[in-house]
Structure 1
């Protein structure tokens, strides 16, 4: 990636509260939120089957985000640009990962991410870095880099001294699934996607082992299709899910087929541009409920729309 010049991004805060970054020319700051005092769960490792390793910090928390020009949207190149700047500022990397190595879908939804349009997030291409400087009163920085058709997106969260401490962690509770009424209108669909980043398609349900949509499910996709038509710059990732019957490999394939079935309806019946919709499968790795009875297993056989 060719960087024509650099844009100095800095703000006069107390020493250590913010690291100044040189970003590609044409970069635009999209967000700046200062919480003092603030609290932040700093990711410290890859998402595992049931938890996101993290360190809970309290202090001066500054959250920033930038959009870089489309020609500078390669996530590895952006990381290679920023990484030495952090080292020069005295930061030591304590965790770094890329997409699947971070934990993919689960890492994204167990980590603080600003909502679009401030921070666009591609579940298939993102990088994360956690760094620390100092020992007696260490400062921390969490970096997320992703992209969209509009360009590269960078989020940096700086935590300065002022109350950093270790707090026992537990897996976060999964949000209750949205009610069916939440997807009844295009406006409600966009509100849910914008505020939560995800929308469970409430009437898209499958018999065990099936990937076929009935007519009720097809008709229920009208509000989502209308929302996409009214917002041509919006893209989504459809993520299919299964219950826990069968092997993980088979369920990953089945869940992806369920997402593809929804994608075909949106493209072929409702006329949405295929390039705006991706289809992925999570198998049984992200259940809404424990797979302990028929009702719970039926709820887990679903498709979610994720804002891209």
Structure 2
């Protein structure tokens, strides 16, 4: 009896499942395909490409083709008449004004935010901490809630209907986020580098110029893109603080394609395409620094 039991035990051990071979180092485990993620990516791609197709295709249509054909149909004949009408309306003037506002707001924010972020990171003063908290309070104040006081201040300063009237509040409302981004970027700089500069006898200005500026490039690019986009797409401040055609920026200039008899949709789409090209170029130029600046301080 014991012999039969031992034989059965040996047969069961022999029929046991073979052990899996050990995985070679450096090889990756192949998992199941994520069909849900693929479907989600396809839906997202359609949601992005359809408006872009409508935008570009409509700008290449004639007025008659747009009225007779469907909005998503392929243009029968490609024409650039809509782009010509956009320049005739005054697109170059609107583009120039938007560039002036964007560059002015970016320069003003960087001049204020960079030294402020450096002081917040390196100073232990209570005044600096209180100032940082006041800047953070600016994140909770929407521009729509204080547009009337801003209008009164601009008129008292005799800046109404000027590009300066748009630059100042745009820079003010993008300053809190800019300081937060630059502060996180400067905190990634090792303290040993600051101590080495101090041992070499460098002043605060020399440390800021030789150490902080080169190492905060990703944060500077992030702030530049953020402020530039806000200034480029801003509609409220130009609407309330400007009036004449000479100070009109792109968001307000698009109104020129709408009359009491209708809207020149192909011309409007052409102006939108032209106004999006500088923003696209800015993003393509600084996308790596933008991601690096947004991720700054995550590991802290």
TM-score, reference length from structure 2: 0.20
- Higher RCO structure (Cα 8 Å, ≥6 apart): 2
Select the structure that is richer in helix.
2
